Amino acid sequence: MTTLPQSTQKKLGLVIDLDTCVGCHACVISCKEWNTSNYGAPLSDMDAYGKDPAGTFLNRVHTFEVKQENKPAQVTHFPKSCLHCEDAPCVTVCPTGASYKRVEDGIVLVNESDCIGCGLCAWSCPYGAREMDAAEGVMKKCTLCVDRIYNENIPEEDRVPSCVRTCPAGARHFGDFADPESNVSILTAERGGMDLMPEQGTKPVNKYLPPRPKADIEQIDILAPLLERQPEETGGFLGWLDRTLEKL
C-alpha cells in the first residue's frame, strides 16, 4: 500500500466557476488531445465509429437542470476530473505503489509502469474520477498537465493545464492553494468556493464556485407584444411568394 505525505510544499489545483462554464466541452477535447500526445500511455478510443463507442477521458462535463421553489429553472454545467485530494483514498489502497501524491506540489499521479490495472483506486474514489484505459490496461487520471506546467520549452503563459488554457469562458483557474495570496485562494475566499462531497473526508484540493442565482424573468408580459408576428410589409412578387409559401 502507498502512504500519503503528511504535508506538501504546494497545493496545486483548480478552481472551476460553475457560473461561467457554458458546457462547450473545449476542456474535454483539449485534455484528450494533450494527454494522448504527451504524458504516459495514449487515451484510447474503442470502436469510436461503431455501435458501442467507448473511450478514456480525464475530464468530463455533466449537465443538470436545477429547479428551486418559486425560481426559474437553471442549467448548470459541471466539469469533473481528479480533485487531487489531500487525503486521497485512491493512493492508500494501491497495492503496488503506482498511485502516489507528490510532496513538492500535491499532485496525485499514477506510475503506469507499476500499475497492474486492478481497479482498486477507481473503486475507492468517491468522485468517479479515474478511468481504466481498455487498450493499455492501466489506470488513467488527471495529471494537472504536470508535463506542461513545468515545461520551460513552451511560453510561460502556456504553463497551465491544457483545460485552463483552452477554456473560452475563463471558467477554469489554476494555482497554489497553499498560498493565501494566489489567484485560486482569493477566488475561493471571495466567491465561497466549495468542496465536492465534503462528507467523504477526502479534503479535495480543487474547488467549485457556486452558480449565481439568475434573476426572475418578470417582464415577459411586457416583452410579449414585441415578440408577436408583425404584419407583412413586403410587397410585389416577393411578398406574394412569401405569403404563398406560408400556406403550403
Kindly tell me if the per-residue pLDDT of 17 is higher than 70. yes
Residue 131, number of CB atoms within 10 A of its CB: 16
Kindly tell me if the per-residue pLDDT of 227 is higher than 70. no
**Residue 220, pLDDT score:** 52
Distance between CA 85 and CA 4 in Å, rounded?
A: 10
Kindly tell me if the per-residue pLDDT of 216 is higher than 70. no
Q: Is residue 95 part of a domain?
A: yes
Distance between CA 124 and CA 210 in Å, rounded?
A: 26
**Residue 20, pLDDT score:** 94
Q: Is residue 152 part of a domain?
A: yes
Q: Is residue 85 part of a domain?
A: yes
- State the amino acid at position 168 in one-letter form: P
**Apex 190 CA angle, 180 and 19, nearest 5:** 125
**Whole-number percent of the chain with pLDDT over 90:** 68
Q: Which residue reads 462528507 in cell numbers?
A: 199
**Residue 233, pLDDT score:** 58
Stretch (H or E) spanning 190: helix 183-191
183-192 tens-digit pLDDT: 999 999 999 9
**pTM of structure:** 0.82
Distance between CA 84 and CA 19 in Å, rounded?
A: 22
Q: What is the mean pLDDT of residues 163-191?
A: 97
CB within 8 A of 52, min separation 6: which ones? Answer: none
Q: Is residue 83 part of a domain?
A: yes
Q: Is residue 241 part of a domain?
A: no
- State the amino acid at position 87 in one-letter form: D
Q: Which of 157, 146, 167, 198 is nearest to 13 (CA)?
A: 146
Kindly tell me if the per-residue pLDDT of 238 is higher than 80. no
111-144 tens-digit pLDDT: 999 999 999 999 999 999 999 998 889 999 999 9
Q: Is residue 7 part of a domain?
A: no
Instruction: List the grid coordinates of 104.
Output: 513538492
Strand partners for 16: 172, 208
Q: Among 21-30, 48-57, 85-94, 230-239, which is the least confidently predicted range?
A: 230-239
Q: What domain count does the chain have?
A: 1
**Residue 236, pLDDT score:** 72
Q: What is the mean pLDDT of residues 199-207?
A: 97
Q: What is the mean pLDDT of residues 99-115?
A: 96
Question: Could you tell me the residue range of the domain that residue 176 belongs to?
Answer: 12-209
Band the pLDDT of 232: cuts 50, 70, 90: low
Instruction: List the grid coordinates of 37.
Output: 500526445
Instruction: List the grid coordinates of 145.
Output: 498537465
Q: Is the dihedral of CA 52, 56, 61, 62 positive or negative?
A: positive
Q: Is residue 222 part of a domain?
A: no
Contact 108, 100 (CB under 8 A): yes
**Residue 58, pLDDT score:** 94
Kindly tell me if the per-residue pLDDT of 48 is higher than 60. yes
Stretch (H or E) spanning 207: strand 207-209
For the chain, how many residues are written?
248
Q: Is residue 131 part of a domain?
A: yes
CATH label of the domain that carries residue 151:
3.30.70.20
Band the pLDDT of 81: cuts 50, 70, 90: very high
